[in-house]
């Protein structure tokens, strides 16, 4: 079944949870009104079902009986209600309801934790009355319940909306914006968890992600994204930070030791401390450099990536690989250092040229080949629209949802590999499918070739090598060429000799001593193996085939 059809199965547009007095009903009604869908309040529905007010039911039958009725009703609504659904304050504390909400999220649902100012929420809760859980000293009971419930609400929800100081209409607009966003949670045994937020307006969370501790912010960006860095600077200044704007060369020329050294000097002169932070705005090269500066300054400061290209959104900004290039090769100097968050704002794509958008599809396709074959299906189904991408008319079209899903799926693939292997000891190397030759092409082309284009050719080369050695059949090699070509990506290269390429492939980060190491498919998409020291004649024959 097509991914877009499955997303439209009957389920609530959003489920709102929160403390008593958080404004769940008022805000939920505003959200439903704004997006023209029905609204349902679980408490009101329960009262209709049991034929009495909730305080009466509590008094007559007790809380356990009420929670059973509540859990059953919520389970029914999660399966067969297409609107905005507000739950009672204690509903998410019931284990069966937690399971039902988790299943709803797994089906693409959004559980919104409406996090209101405690003083405002307590005042509203007291004013509303009829709350059996607040009998006695209402404020003391509210605070006790908040202490118990807040950690659960944070765990249960996949959308967290702060409403402090907002009108109901303002809170509703924020809910709508955040429900439309997608979030990939990146975690692992050696990783401090962070989120990749995908959607229109995600840069608006910049201050929230940075937090209150930093005083100075180094805003690192390139000239072509000045419009987006201006937005970041305005947000940072509104948040009370002191902003140092640092302009770097665009693309790979910005990823050098000289550029990094200039930034270190600037940070030293301006008194940046370990409690300050770095924000990177731009394409993959800019976010790589920003992350490297953050990793090395004072042995590590907080940083946030705001990628502005498709390639950066799906690859460079996520995963914690930071680095710079040297005359000997790409990314040979770097550090594994994870960001505090990644804000992939779809509005940034409006300024992206068509050719730079298309090169990002190379990394998207790679993730489809190595793990998520649904990515390949989506690329096939929408190849014409993707190849014809026009940023100026992109937002608000069906293509925006296609691209958002591709970003989400690709980041999810990367998160899977990163969470299991932050420092590239094994599994994470599968993310380098197509990169062994791809990096060599970039170097020999003096980085005139963009990364995604080089990786596309590198994947065809890896497929040819796998076929020669009996790992995959000719049909899969042909599929590489047809799919990548349909997206506007190159599938051949003739810009250097085999000896030049071989020398650079020996410097690849996956190489072990004098032994070449490749990542190849074994049988089909999603099945990857390491190929160590393949026969020299096969390595050369595969290269000959991508020159044609």
Whichever domain contains 275, its CATH number is 3.40.50.1970
Please identify, among 180, 199, 222, the residue that sits at the C-terminal boundary of a domain: 180
CATH number at residue 503: 1.20.1090.10
According to the annotation, is 222 in a ligand binding site?
Answer: no
CATH number at residue 142: 3.40.50.300
Looking at the fold, whether 199 and 317 belong to one and the same domain comes out as: yes
Looking at the fold, whether 188 and 152 belong to one and the same domain comes out as: no
Under DSSP, the state recorded for 309 is S
Does residue 407 lie in a domain region?
Answer: no
Looking at the fold, whether 346 and 200 belong to one and the same domain comes out as: yes
According to the annotation, is 234 in a ligand binding site?
Answer: no
Looking at the fold, whether 45 and 192 belong to one and the same domain comes out as: no
According to the annotation, is 252 in a ligand binding site?
Answer: yes
Q: In the chain, how many domains are there?
A: 3
According to the annotation, is 330 in a ligand binding site?
Answer: yes
Q: How far apart are CA 335 and CA 423, in angstroms?
A: 9
Nearest to 161 by CA among 201, 125, 126: 201
According to the annotation, is 496 in a ligand binding site?
Answer: no
Range of the domain at 537: 424-546
pLDDT for position 508: 67
The answer to whether the CB of 84 falls within 8 A of the CB of 39 is: yes
According to the annotation, is 205 in a ligand binding site?
Answer: no
According to the annotation, is 320 in a ligand binding site?
Answer: no
According to the annotation, is 442 in a ligand binding site?
Answer: no
Tell me the H-state helices in 298-382: 310-311, 354-370, 373-381
**Which segments within 22-178 are labelled E, that is strand?**
39-41, 84-86, 111-115, 159-162
According to the annotation, is 250 in a ligand binding site?
Answer: yes
Does residue 140 lie in a domain region?
Answer: yes
According to the annotation, is 180 in a ligand binding site?
Answer: no
According to the annotation, is 24 in a ligand binding site?
Answer: yes
Looking at the fold, whether 331 and 459 belong to one and the same domain comes out as: no
Looking at the fold, whether 32 and 156 belong to one and the same domain comes out as: yes
Does residue 412 lie in a domain region?
Answer: no
The answer to whether the CB of 411 falls within 8 A of the CB of 314 is: yes
pLDDT for position 3: 35
According to the annotation, is 195 in a ligand binding site?
Answer: no
Does residue 446 lie in a domain region?
Answer: yes
According to the annotation, is 21 in a ligand binding site?
Answer: yes
Q: How far apart are CA 520 and CA 525, in angstroms?
A: 10
User: Taking the CB of residue 513, how many other CB atoms lie within 10 A of it?
Assistant: 7
pLDDT for position 313: 94
Looking at the fold, whether 215 and 330 belong to one and the same domain comes out as: yes
Looking at the fold, whether 147 and 195 belong to one and the same domain comes out as: no
Does residue 375 lie in a domain region?
Answer: no
Looking at the fold, whether 194 and 208 belong to one and the same domain comes out as: yes
Does residue 369 lie in a domain region?
Answer: no
According to the annotation, is 302 in a ligand binding site?
Answer: no
Please identify, among 337, 352, 367, the residue that sits at the C-terminal boundary of a domain: 352
pLDDT for position 405: 92
Looking at the fold, whether 228 and 347 belong to one and the same domain comes out as: yes
According to the annotation, is 321 in a ligand binding site?
Answer: yes
Looking at the fold, whether 137 and 223 belong to one and the same domain comes out as: no
Q: How far apart are CA 203 and CA 305, in angstroms?
A: 10
Residues pairing with 15 in the sheet: 85, 111
According to the annotation, is 190 in a ligand binding site?
Answer: no
According to the annotation, is 322 in a ligand binding site?
Answer: no
According to the annotation, is 131 in a ligand binding site?
Answer: yes
Looking at the fold, whether 171 and 281 belong to one and the same domain comes out as: no
Antiparallel, parallel or unpaired: β 191-199 and 182-188: antiparallel
Residue ranges of the chain whose pLDDT lies below 70: 1-9, 125-138, 189, 316-317, 319, 420-428, 508-513
pLDDT for position 510: 58
Does residue 388 lie in a domain region?
Answer: no
514: left (phi over 0), alpha (psi -120 to 50) or beta: alpha
Does residue 370 lie in a domain region?
Answer: no
């Amino acid at each position: 079944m097509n991914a877009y059809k499955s997303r439209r199965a009957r389920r609530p547009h959003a489920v709102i949870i929160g403390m008593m007095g958080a404004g769940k009903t008022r805000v939920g009604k505003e959200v439903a009104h704004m997006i023209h869908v029905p609204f349902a309040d679980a408490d009101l529905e329960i009262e209709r079902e049991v034929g009495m007010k909730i305080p009466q039911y509590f008094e007559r039958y007790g809380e356990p009986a009420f929670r059973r009725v509540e859990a059953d009703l919520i389970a029914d609504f999660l399966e067969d209600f297409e609107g905005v659904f507000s739950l009672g304050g204690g509903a998410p504390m019931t284990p069966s309801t937690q399971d039902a909400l988790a299943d709803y999220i797994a089906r693409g649902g959004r559980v919104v934790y409406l996090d209101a100012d405690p003083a405002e929420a307590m005042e509203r809760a007291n004013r509303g009355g009829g709350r059996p859980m607040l009998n006695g000293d209402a404020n003391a009971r509210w605070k006790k319940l908040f202490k118990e419930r807040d950690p659960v609400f944070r765990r249960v929800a996949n959308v967290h909306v702060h409403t402090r100081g907002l009108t109901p209409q303002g809170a509703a607009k924020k809910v709508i914006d955040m429900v439309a966003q997608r979030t990939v949670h990146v975690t692992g045994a050696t990783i401090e968890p962070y989120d990749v937020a995908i959607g229109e307006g995600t840069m608006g969370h910049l201050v929230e992600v940075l937090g209150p501790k930093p005083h100075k912010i180094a805003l690192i960006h390139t000239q072509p994204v000045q419009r987006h860095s201006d937005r970041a600077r305005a947000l940072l200044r509104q948040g009370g930070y002191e902003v140092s704007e640092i302009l770097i060369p665009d693309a790979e020329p910005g990823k050098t030791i000289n550029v990094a050294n200039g930034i270190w000097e600037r940070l030293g002169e301006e008194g940046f401390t370990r409690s300050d932070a770095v924000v990177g705005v731009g394409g993959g090269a800019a976010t790589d450099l920003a992350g490297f500066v953050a990793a090395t300054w004072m042995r590590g400061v907080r940083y946030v990536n705001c990628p502005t290209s498709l390639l950066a959104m799906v690859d460079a900004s996520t995963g914690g690989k930071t680095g710079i290039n040297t005359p000997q090769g790409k990314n040979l100097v770097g550090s594994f250092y994870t960001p505090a968050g990644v804000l992939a704002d779809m509005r940034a794509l409006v300024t992206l040229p068509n050719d730079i958008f298309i090169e990002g599809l190379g990394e998207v396709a790679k993730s489809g080949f190595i793990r998520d074959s649904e990515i390949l299906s989506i690329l096939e189904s929408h190849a014409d629209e993707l190849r014809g991408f026009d940023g100026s008319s992109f937002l608000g079209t069906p293509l925006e949802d296609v691209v958002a899903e591709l970003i989400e799926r690709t980041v999810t693939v990367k998160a899977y590999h990163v969470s299991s292997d932050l420092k590239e000891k094994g599994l994470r190397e599968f993310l380098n499918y197509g990169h062994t030759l791809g990096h060599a092409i970039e170097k020999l082309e003096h980085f005139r070739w963009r990364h995604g284009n080089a990786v596309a050719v590198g994947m065809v080369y890896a497929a040819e090598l796998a076929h020669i050695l009996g790992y995959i059949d000719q049909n899969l090699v042909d599929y590489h060429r047809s799919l990548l070509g349909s997206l506007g990506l190159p599938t051949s290269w003739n810009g250097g000799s085999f000896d030049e390429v071989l020398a650079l492939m020996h410097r690849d980060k996956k190489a072990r001593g004098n032994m070449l190491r490749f990542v190849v498919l074994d049988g089909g998409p999603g099945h990857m193996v390491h190929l160590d020291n393949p026969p020299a004649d096969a390595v050369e024959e595969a290269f000959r085939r991508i020159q044609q």
